[in-house]
Amino acid sequence: MAGCGWNLADPVSICASACQTPGGKAGMDHEDLRHWSKRAADWAADYHAGLRDRPVRAPLVPGAIGRHLPAAPPDLAEPIETIWADFERIVPDGMTHWQHPRFFAYFPANAAPASMLAEQLVNAMACNALIWQTSPAATEIEQVMVDWLRQALGLPQGFVGTIHDSATNATLSAVLTMRERALAYRGLDDGLSGGPTLRFYASAETHSSVDKAIRVAGIGQRNLVKVATDRDRAMTGDGLRAAIRADRAAGLFPAGVILCAGGTSIGAFDRIADCLAVCLAEGVPSHVDAAWAGSAMICPEFRELWAGVEAADSIVFNPHKWLGAQFDCSVQLLRDPGAQVRTLGLRPTYLETAGREEIVNFNEWTVPLGRRFRALKLWFVLRAYGLEGLRTRIRNHVRWAVAVRDRLAALPGVEIVTEPRLSLFTFALANDAATEALVSRINDDGRIYLTQTRVDGRFAIRVQVGSFDCRAEDVMLIAKTVEEMLA
C-alpha cells in the first residue's frame, strides 16, 4: 500500500500520518474524531429514539455475530468509514438492549442522557485517577459525590466512601477488610495458613458476588454460613445470633456478616436493625449489599425497608442500576475507612505525592490500582434531574410494578409467587414446564424481556420495573403480552 512503508530518511514519520487506502483515509486523528464523534452522537440519539421498535433481547443463536469477523487482525489500517459501516451492519442487531424502555429482566443498568454526556467528557480526558495527583478533580468530585449520596440516602454524617466498578469488588473489599480485622491484620503478611477458621454469615438470598468474595478472599465456601430465613426470606437477629454462638462454641471465629437489602431473586430484605444489633453485641463487623435497592432509599418512604442500616460498617449500592449513572458506578459507604485502607492500601515510592500527606488516594480503598473518573456522571445526573426528578422515576416504577402485578393476578392461571418488593415481584403458571415455556415465548416475541428465578424450588418469572425511560404503557404491556400468550 502506497505511503505505508518505512521511510528510512525520516523514521519519525512512520504511521504518524494517515495512509490512503482504496476505500478512503485510514487511521484516525483528533480532527477525524471531531467529525466522527458528531456522527456517533447523532447515531446515539437515533438509536435511543428507535429502541421501542427493536426486540429487547437479541434474537440470536450463539456464534451468530462472531462469524462475521475475520479470524485474524488486520495488518494494514482500514478506513474508519468501513469500520463504521461494519459496526452498523453487525453490532446493533446483535445486542440485547439494556436501555430499552421495556427491559424488565435482571436489574436495570440505566444510562441517563446526562450520564452519557459526562462519560463522553471522561472519555475525552481518558485519565487514570489512581492517586489524587494523577486526577485531582476526579478524587475531589468523588469525595463530594459520595457525600451527596450519603445525604440523599438519609445516612448520618461520618459515613465516607468511594466508587468501585462493581458491587462485586465493593463486597470483596469489605470481606477482605473483615478478614483482616479478625486476623489483627496478620493475614496481610503471614497469609491464612495456620490461622483460626474464619466464619462469615449471610442468608441464601444474598447475591452470588458474596460467595465469590468469600472464595477469592481465601475464606472457603464452607465457611460462609447461610443463615436460615423467616417466611419473608429475611435473616433474623435471633437466627444470626444462634449461628454466631454455635460457631464460637465449636472453636470457630465469627469474622463478618453480609446483610441483604434487596436480593436479586425476589428482593428480600434481612431484618437489618435486629441483625446489626447482634453484630454490635457480638463484636462482628458487617457489610450491607443494597446494590439494587439502595437507589430507592433516596425516597424517604422506602427507608423503612433497611431501618437501622446506619449501624453497618459498610454499605454498597449501585447508582448504575437504578439511579441513572451508567455502568460502571458502585458506591461503597464506610463508617470508618481506616480498616479498609489498612487492608488494601499500599504506597510504594512511585505512588507517593511529595509533601502531600493529607490527600486521599482512592486506590488505597479498593482492589484495583487504576481507576476511572466515575464521579463526573454522578455530578451530571444528580444536577440534571435533581433528587426530586430521580425520586419521581423510582416512585413511578414502584407504582407501575404494583399495577401490573394486579393485572397479571387477574389473569386465569397466573399466580403471584412473591409480592412486589419495591418494583420487583414474581409470578408463575400451574407448573414449572408451563412457566418455563411462557418466559421463552415472551422473550422470543421480543416486545418485553423478563428473566426467571426459583422460589422454594418453584420456577417463577421475575418482573422488575426500573428502566430510566419506561412509561406506564410500557409496563402494562407485560400484562397484555402474557394475556395474549395464554389466550
Q: Which residues bind ligand PLP (CB under 6 A)?
A: 107, 166-168, 207, 209, 262-264, 289, 291-292, 318, 330
Q: Which burial class, exposed, middle or buried, applies to 252 when counting CB atoms under 10 A from its CB (0-12, 13-18, 19+)?
A: middle
Residue 138 has φ and ψ, to the nearest 5°, of -65, -45
Least separation in angstroms between residue 290's CB and ligand PLP is: 8
Nearer to ligand PLP, 150 or 207 (CB): 207
Nearer to ligand PLP, 209 or 326 (CB): 209
Nearer to ligand PLP, 26 or 309 (CB): 309
> Residue 453: left (phi > 0), alpha (psi -120 to 50), or beta?
beta
By C-alpha distance, which of 76, 104, 112 is closest to 2?
76
By C-alpha distance, which of 374, 333, 366, 372 is closest to 169?
366
CA distance 20 to 16: 13
Contact between 45 and 27 (Cβ < 8 Å): no
Q: For 460, what's the count of Cα atoms within 13 Å in the CB-facing half-sphere?
A: 21
Nearer to ligand PLP, 289 or 313 (CB): 289
Least separation in angstroms between residue 318's CB and ligand PLP is: 5
Least separation in angstroms between residue 338's CB and ligand PLP is: 25
Least separation in angstroms between residue 330's CB and ligand PLP is: 5
Least separation in angstroms between residue 212's CB and ligand PLP is: 9
Nearer to ligand PLP, 80 or 257 (CB): 257
Least separation in angstroms between residue 205's CB and ligand PLP is: 9
Nearer to ligand PLP, 146 or 429 (CB): 146
The residues facing 463 across adjacent strands are 425
Nearer to ligand PLP, 101 or 108 (CB): 108
Least separation in angstroms between residue 262's CB and ligand PLP is: 6
Least separation in angstroms between residue 312's CB and ligand PLP is: 15
Grid coordinates belonging to 304: 423503612
CA distance 459 to 85: 42
For 187, other C-beta atoms within 10 Å of its C-beta total: 20
Name the amino acid, one letter, at 323. Answer: L
Nearer to ligand PLP, 132 or 292 (CB): 292
Contact between 463 and 450 (Cβ < 8 Å): yes
Q: For 409, what's the count of Cα atoms within 13 Å in the CB-facing half-sphere?
A: 13
CA distance 86 to 69: 9
By C-alpha distance, which of 143, 245, 224, 134 is closest to 179?
224
Nearer to ligand PLP, 187 or 263 (CB): 263
Least separation in angstroms between residue 109's CB and ligand PLP is: 8
